[in-house]
Amino acid sequence: MAVDKVFPSPARALEGLVRDDIIVAVGGFGLCGIPEQLIMALRDSGAKGLTCVSNNAGVDDWGLGLLLKTRQIRKMVSSYVGENAEFERQFMSGELQLEFCPQGTLAERLRAGGAGIPAFYTKTGVGTVVADGKPTELFDGETYVMERGIRADLALVKAWKADRFGNLVFRKTARNFNPMVATSGRVTVAEVEELVEVGQIDADQVHTPGIFVDRIVVTRSEKRIEQRTVRTA
């Protein structure tokens, strides 16, 4: 009998998975492709001391900014943090730990973790504070810094479409960090806009195979715009 991965609500999809002091990897870029309803369910769980791995922390009133507001995040592993005033305030006051990670390196750390690669070497960050305290090695006369793969206790992603086995399709820019985040989780929960039966997604169109996805929940996305620029008439 096939395992039923579909849950009736974000809260139910997180049942038994959330506890204090875990590492949570979260997909998305800015407000694009973020698992917004799962983030709110994570907030409502009351879990504290979280280490969140995500490209950024959303904005003050949306995305991971909601968890910053409730002081549930102990540490952020991010590459960009410029749109969140509360993030800045907590970091500058010493309330929030921050591990800066170059964007491409962060993506590769997530991918490596999901592929079972514990560490890799890159030139990005050599000679900067990013490399402080990390091992370095010479390859062909060039210095490289070692970066650790990331294996999250829980991964939360947002997809456009899924079948009941969990095969995922991400739409346009939402196909940013989500595929790497999905594979990095020991347990992965996908928030999706459309659910179809197995076989209705062409195998060549699958971005994340269902073997990586443990739970699915169908939600309606608000799709907020982070920066709106308009031209006056």
Model confidence over 126-145: pLDDT tens digits? 999 999 999 999 999 999 99
Residues 183-208 have a mean pLDDT of 96
Predicted local confidence at residue 1, as pLDDT: 45
The pLDDT tens digits for 72-91 are: 999 999 998 777 888 889 99
Q: Is residue 168 in some structural domain?
A: yes
Is residue 138 assigned to a domain? no
Name the nearest CA neighbour of 58 among 25, 81, 91, 24.
81
Cβ atoms of residues 219 and 146 within 8 Å = no
Q: Does residue 185 carry a pLDDT above 70?
A: yes
Question: Looking at the domain assignment, is residue 177 inside a domain?
Answer: yes
Q: Which has more confidence, 29 or 217? A: 217
Alpha helices (runs of H) in the chain, residue ranges in sequence order: 10-13, 36-45, 65-69, 85-92, 103-114, 178-184
Domain that holds residue 39: 6-118+150-218
83 in a domain, yes or no? yes
For residue 139, the surrounding DSSP H or E stretch is strand 136-139
What's the confidence (pLDDT) of residue 177? 95
pLDDT beyond 70 at 111:
yes
- pLDDT value for 6: 97
**How many distinct structural domains can be found in the chain?**
1
How far is 52 from 129, CA to CA, in rounded Å?
A: 21
In a domain, 228, yes or no: no
CATH code, domain carrying 74 = 3.40.1080.10
- Distances in whole angstroms, Cα of residue 90 to Cα of each of 78, 145, 228: 15, 29, 26
Q: 23 lies in a domain?
A: yes
Q: Does residue 201 contact residue 171 with C-beta atoms inside 8 Å?
A: no
Residue 144 in any domain: the answer is no
What does the pLDDT average to over 152-159?
A: 98
Residue 225 domain-assigned? no
